[in-house]
Amino acid sequence: MEQIQDNLAVIQRRIHAAAASATRSPDTIRLIAVSKHMPPESLSRAMAAGQFCFGENYLQEAVQKQAQLHDERIEWHFIGHLQTNKAKQAVGKFSWLHTMDNLKLADKLAAAMAGTGLILNVLLQVNVANDPGKSGIPARNVLHFAEALLEAEHRAIRLCGLMTIGRQHANKDERRADFASLRRLSELCGDHLGKEYFTELSMGMSDDFELAIQEGSTMLRIGSAIFGARPPVTPKA
């Protein structure tokens, strides 16, 4: 328990320092503890240290944890690939979806949420570097995708911004360039479609979150730096 608390304290200090260097308020930056493969006990330890935002990659695993962790303060973020045929199962389980890249998925989610009064905050996942090994909307198509999503007028889906996953094995300059590209794309989309739809930038993980803060990130997805190495388990989505 103490290790997780200590790790969170260190990360918070680093967030504050990076925000100060970028002349930003740390209050504009949300820390999402990526808890995939971690047992509920680890999340409870993080909660004891004041951490209540958690990011899960696998629907089945997330639902199992939610059944064991009953705390209204928890804010669940889905940060993995959500299959269209599992949209109905995800309804009401998450406040945020970081990986919207399929208009059919948006349609399915909206239909499943109709009449519930629920709202799902969504971010468009962008493949900034056109990495063939990564999911996401190519940067050149994001404006058109966002326009189509807004034109669909799904009352249950609230577009809030963009998300990207950094390139593996990229150097510091390459990662900064990717983060800067996402920020500029967000500004472009905001200028064309309304800044209120592009208030969030989800970018930055355990090994590059300070760079992401300097380039405008408002959501950090940090796992191993909080919980340590994950067990070698690959649950089904």
Domains of the chain with bracketed CATH: 2-227 (3.20.20.10)
- Give the pLDDT of residue 201: 98
Tokens (6 digits) for 111: 């239909």
- Give the pLDDT of residue 233: 59
- Give the pLDDT of residue 99: 98
pLDDT, block means (10 residues), the chain with 237 residues: 91 98 97 97 96 98 96 97 96 98 97 96 95 90 98 97 90 95 98 98 97 98 93 57
19-42 residue pLDDT tens: 999 999 999 999 999 999 999 999
State pTM to two decimals. Answer: 0.95
